[in-house]
Every structure is written in structure tokens, then in C-alpha cells.
């Protein structure tokens, strides 16, 4: 039963994936790449992601300390 569902979804979604590959990317990305601003965007996103991971690790360590106290 599960195999039939997976095969059905794959057969329905594969044409859309192919079409998405053919479509041109957004003009904004081309502009950022040509002006070199894409590196600034990637850097800012990376900093936000690293800070988010650091915050989650910090919360996890505090939670473990509280759990170990009890």
C-alpha cells in the first residue's frame, strides 16, 4: 500500500520538478550576483543561523543542568 502511494506521488511530482529546473531564476539573485552583494546576503544569513544554533545549545545546557538538579 505504501509503495503504491510513493509511486503515485513520484509520478505526479516529477514533471513539476523538471519544469522548475527549466524556469529562469529571479532577477534579484542575478543582480546580487553581478554586483557582489550575494556574499553579504550569505554572510548575514550564516551569522543569523550560527547565532540561532548557539542559542539553542545554550538553552539545552541550561535545561540539562536543571534536569540534573532534580
Dihedral over alpha carbons 50, 53, 55, 57 (to 10 degrees): -130
**Quick one: cell of 68?**
540534573
Q: Has this prediction a pTM greater than 0.85?
A: no
> Residue 45's pLDDT is what?
94
The yes-or-no verdict on residue 23 having pLDDT over 60 is no
pLDDT single digits (tens) 27-62: 666 777 777 788 888 899 999 999 999 999 999 999
> Residue 53's pLDDT is what?
96
Residue ranges of the domains in the chain? Answer: 25-70
Closest residue by Cα to residue 35 from 24, 27, 44 = 27
Dihedral over alpha carbons 34, 38, 40, 46 (to 10 degrees): -170
Amino acid at each position: 500500500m505504501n509503495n503504491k502511494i510513493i509511486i503515485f506521488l513520484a509520478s505526479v511530482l516529477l514533471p513539476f520538478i523538471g519544469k522548475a529546473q527549466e524556469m529562469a531564476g529571479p532577477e534579484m539573485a542575478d543582480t546580487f550576483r553581478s554586483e557582489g552583494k550575494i556574499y553579504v546576503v550569505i554572510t548575514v544569513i550564516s551569522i543569523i543561523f550560527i547565532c540561532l544554533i548557539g542559542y539553542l545549545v545554550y538553552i539545552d545546557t541550561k535545561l540539562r543542568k536543571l534536569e540534573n538538579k532534580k
